[in-house]
A and B are shown apart, each in its own frame.
Chain A
Amino acid sequence: MSLLLSQTEIEKNIFEVVINFSNLQIDKKEIESSLGYPEDMIPNHFSELIDEIISELPDKCKIKAGYCLAEINKQKEKKDGLTIADKFFNMDRLVTAQIKKSELAALFVCTIGNVMENWSRQLLTNGDPATAFLVDTVASITVESVTDLLHDFIGDEMKKRNLNITNRYSPGYCNWPVSEQQLLFSFFPQNFCGIILTDSSLMIPIKSVSGVIGIGANVKRKDYVCDQCGMKDCTYRAVRSRLKSI
């Protein structure tokens, strides 16, 4: 299915993708699951609060997304990383193994802006930690939903070129050092999508996602290999495990 999104090439091989809130599908069950509740076990009070927070999302989410296409240099192939354009990414074996068959890489970023995180912080300051926590959780699920959409859109764009895509991987996860964010962001113009990096490589706004997707004729999206990763307490691992059980 082709997604009703559009893109603009702002520089050679750098695209801004327009994602409207109406394009998103916020899964309330996923929110409840990430809070830890078994299906249909969340108290009404919190369920209603989540509904209220979701109803605020269209006004409070300032979605921006984009990506850069770059060639993977096969001649400089290593087991623990990939050379994208002329820059070596120390991705660790886990991520490298998933992407190494690709000819191109889509380096992507997206964000929902800082309104939700400010709202959460304000609620906490005003002594309402439970609602603050719910707002933060809904914001996290929302930015993941934006990332899902961007991932699918890149897949559709590549299909037009008869190419397939891989899963997505982000610095800070799967043993890929978060410091490599600096390298990843070097592919974009300054302040791309309104995201900046701190010296310690964290993104501001906090509710942002960055990463890489492999592109090639002989690659495909498949199940994540969480069981091969050493991060037993990873957020993604926990969410994927819970979603499998629903």
Chain B
Amino acid sequence: MNELIERISICVERGKVNKTSPYPKDLAGQDGADELTRQALDSNLGPDSILQACNVGMMKIGERFGRNEVFVPELLMAAKAMNAVMAHLKPFFKAGTVKAKGKFLLGTVAGDLHDIGKNLVSMVVEGNGWQVIDLGVDVKPGKFIEKIKENPDCIVGLSALLTTTMASMSKTVKEIKEQFPNIKIIVGGAPLSHKAAEQMGADGYAPDPQGAVEFLNEFIAA
């Protein structure tokens, strides 16, 4: 692997955003994902190979997260570094030179105003190469359905924080599945579990942002 590409991968895994970023301490003062990506593009390294390096970095931090070696803050720093890379790659996505893994339509269900969990999922999923369409909070089923019509190839993510908003989530899943039985839906949030997700007819459950990424990536593999 090209040295620049390898360093980008390490920066993403370690959450090294740019040269001025103080995190992680052992990389202080060194170029980060931002500078290295610019250098890689200036050296005519392909955006595909940069994206691949990022995916390797995100996969490694995800695996460490799964082993409880790192926790959500480290995962979010990695996502931030990944987003620094993506800022450079945006023109290539627009031009169609590189493609997102897919579209992820995300929102907090009707009646629920909590957005921190949903926003963190959005950032990590985007950092993993997906196009995220974030519908915000308190999203009614009709809004999800309208957006699915515009993006029929998307995967839907629903977030809820409280037990009672699970009823709203269940209603949303039901209404989406009635109109779009083949659309895949993943649910997440504090009161949920695999069992609850299954009961409401969702296709998957993610206990954390990394769980959402793993679910989405399985669909690519499939």
Which residues between 179 and 207 of chain B lie within 8 Å of chain A, taking CB atoms? 190-193, 207
B71 nearest CB neighbor, chain A only: A36
Using CB atoms, name the residue of chain B closest to A44: B25
* A134 at interface, CB cutoff 8 A: yes
By a CB distance below 8 angstroms, the chain B residues around A199 are: 111
Interface pick from A102-110, A120-128, A183-191, A214-222: A120-128
| Distance in angstroms between the alpha carbons of A127 and B87 in the assembled complex | 12
Known contacts A36-B68, A175-B163, then 17 further A-B pairs from the complex at CB < 8 Å, ordered by chain A residue: A35-B72, A36-B71, A45-B23, A46-B73, A121-B116, A132-B116, A133-B76, A133-B116, A178-B162, A198-B111, A200-B165, A201-B111, A201-B164, A202-B112, A202-B162, A233-B207, A234-B191
Among candidates A121, A172, A175, residue contacting B162 with C-beta atoms closer than 8 Å: A172
- Closest Cβ of chain A to B162, distance in Å, is 5
Inter-chain contacts of B80 with A (CB < 8 A): 127-130
Q: Give the Cβ gap from B109 to chain A, nearest Cβ, in Å.
A: 10
22 contacts between A and B (CB under 8 A): A36-B68, A45-B22, A45-B23, A45-B24, A45-B25, A121-B116, A124-B116, A129-B79, A129-B80, A129-B123, A130-B76, A132-B119, A133-B72, A134-B73, A173-B163, A177-B164, A200-B112, A202-B114, A206-B113, A233-B190, A233-B192, A234-B191
Tell me the dominant secondary structure on chain A's binding face. Answer: loop
- B192 proximity list for chain A (CB < 8 A): 233
Tell me which residues across on chain B come within 8 A of A202, comparing CB atoms: 111-114, 162
Interface residues, chain A, with chain B CB atoms under 8 Å away: 35-37, 43-46, 120-121, 124, 127-130, 132-134, 136, 172-173, 175, 177-179, 198-202, 204, 206, 231-235
With a cutoff of 8 Å between Cβ atoms, the chain A residues found around residue B114 in the complex are: 202, 206
Q: Is the CB of B83 within 8 A of A127?
A: yes
Total A-B contacts with CB atoms under 8 angstroms apart: 88
* Bound Cα distance A36, B164 (Å): 26
In the complex, A233 Cα to B208 Cα: how many Å? 12
Report the bound CA distance from A134 to B110 in whole Å.
Answer: 26
Q: How far is the CA of A152 from the CA of B22 in the complex (A)?
A: 41
How far apart are the CA atoms of A44 and B28 in the complex, in Å?
13
Within 102-140 of B, Cβ neighbours of A (below 8 Å) are at 110-116, 119-120, 123, 138
B9 to chain A: closest CB distance in Å? 20
B168 at the interface (CB under 8 A from A): yes
User: Complex Cα distance A53/B124, Å?
Assistant: 23
Residues of chain B contacted by A231 (CB below 8 angstroms):
163, 191
Minimal beta-carbon separation of A15 from chain B (angstroms): 27
Q: Contacts A129-B120, A231-B163 known; A35 to B191 CB distance under 8 Å?
A: no
With A199-B111, A202-B162, A233-B191 as contacts: A37 and B116 at CB distance below 8 Å: no
Which residues in A have their C-beta under 8 angstroms from that of B190? Answer: 233-235
Closest 7 CB pairs of A and B: A200-B111, A178-B164, A130-B76, A36-B71, A129-B76, A45-B23, A172-B162
Residues of B within 8 Å of A234, CB to CB, are 190-191
Which residues from chain B contact A134 at a C-beta distance below 8 Å? Answer: 73
